[in-house]
Structure 1
Amino acid sequence: MSELKISDIQRMVDDWIKKFGGGYWSPLSMLAALVEEIGELAKALNSIEGGKGCGNMKALVEEIGDVLFALTCISNYYGIDMGDALKKCVEKYTVRDADRWIRK
């Protein structure tokens, strides 16, 4: 698969929801799904980093995709441009933490 822009990801998820999902879930149901997927991501990461289990990169990749899908659904529901939200986040950290990190 070729590289995707964030806008491509949002469009791909929206197209899938319209075709197969029957519409977006309620906001709290989408949040619950996101939290569930984050828990599964934590389990996969814990397994890789020497916690319980034997580590499985395939599971980690799958769970990252699931988290991204769930977060994209919430963003789409509210009409939030994820690229713009990320830019604002990086700008916030850049200003707030200007003297916190060593620049390379």
Structure 2
Amino acid sequence: MNDEQRQVDELIKEFGGYWGPFEMLTALVEELGELADEMLMVEGVKGRGKPERVKEEIGDVMFALSCIANYYGVDLMEALRKSIQKYRRRDLASSP
């Protein structure tokens, strides 16, 4: 668990503990929807938005994802590094 995830873990425990897995997944999906709304506004598709709100929503998505990762004992940075390696190998293998 990285330092940021530890901070999330401490905060969640102060609030009484983690929700169940599917409740946390629902929270993540909700935050992704809010991120999508902000992006639509910033891009002018749905009114007007502020780029700093996109940043805030990305933070909320990361918080919700951290909760799920903590619940399952996954270090987010390690998982991200492995995904980067996976995409690099896959994309290098498929390039001409």
Q: Above 0.5 in TM-score?
A: yes
Residue equivalent to 1:76: 70
Distance in structure 2 (CA, Å) of the matches to 1:65 and 1:85: 18
1:57-72 aligned within 5 A: 57-72=51-66
The TM-score normalised by the length of structure 2 is 0.92
Residue equivalent to 2:27: 33
Residue equivalent to 2:8: 13
Distance in structure 2 (CA, Å) of the matches to 1:100 and 1:56: 38
Q: 1:23 aligns with which of 17, 22, 33?
A: 17
Identity %, equivalent residues:
54
Q: 1:95 aligns with which of 78, 81, 89?
A: 89
Q: What is the Cα deviation at residue 37 of structure 1?
A: 0.3
User: For structure 1, which segment, 53-62 or 65-74, has the greater mean C-alpha deviation from structure 2 after superposition?
Assistant: 53-62
Cα RMSD, aligned residues only: 1.7
Q: Name structure 2 gaps, 5 residues minimum.
A: none
User: For structure 1, which segment, 47-56 or 26-35, has the greater mean C-alpha deviation from structure 2 after superposition?
Assistant: 47-56
The TM-score normalised by the length of structure 1 is 0.85
Once the two structures are superposed, residues 58-98 of structure 1 have per-residue CA deviations (whole angstroms, 9 ceiling, x without a partner) of 32121111100000000000000111111110010011001
Distance in structure 1 (CA, Å) of the matches to 2:55 and 2:26: 20
Q: Name structure 1 gaps, 5 residues minimum.
A: 1-5
Greater RCO (CA < 8 Å, at least 6 residues apart): 2
Structure 1 stretches (4+) deviating beyond 6 angstroms?
none
Q: What is the Cα deviation at residue 100 of structure 1?
A: 5.3
